[in-house]
Amino acid sequence: MASSSRTRRTAVAGAVVLTALLGVYVWLVAARSVALIQTGKVVGILLGVAFLILPLVVIWLVVREWMLAIDVQRMADELAAGDELPVDDLPRSPGGRIDRSVARERFDAARDVAEDAPEDWRSWYHLAFAYDAAGDRKRARESLRTARRLYRA
């Protein structure tokens, strides 16, 4: 358990550091944008406004991802308390790659459960990890967002 706690702290610390670095970058872009606007030239103003929108979008995306991460952790904690967390016991190659054929088989089972219980956030959470193991990160994220929406409801 101590190893799991240490791993979690390391992951959170890494995410915080990366977010802080992104914050510095966003601040620098915003400062340059304001400087462009202050030139008083049409091109500078247009570029400054355009580049000022970028930090706002980045801030929105970062906040959105942090909120998702917090909710996913809450869901994981609840699943762990009930001993329902997805188990990563898929066979792997010597290089660590998941055997996709086995992952697809397990994916089909997870998809069937989610289809049978579309209002159960747990089934969507499990489906997200099945998508991830099958190599479909985009749908995995969509499934986590669906699980989050149902969890919050």
pLDDT of 42-94, one tens digit each? 999 999 999 988 888 888 998 999 999 999 999 999 999 999 998 888 888 88
- Residue 6: which domain range? 2-81
CA distances from 82 to 74, 75, 92, 134 (A): 13, 11, 27, 25
Residue 91 lies in a domain: no
Is residue 26 included in any domain, yes or no? yes
At residue 8, the 3 state secondary structure works out as helix
Number of folded domains in the chain? 2
At 40, the pLDDT band (50, 70, 90 cuts) reads very high
For residue 24, name the pLDDT band (cuts at 50, 70, 90): very high
Answer whether 0.85 is exceeded by the pTM: no
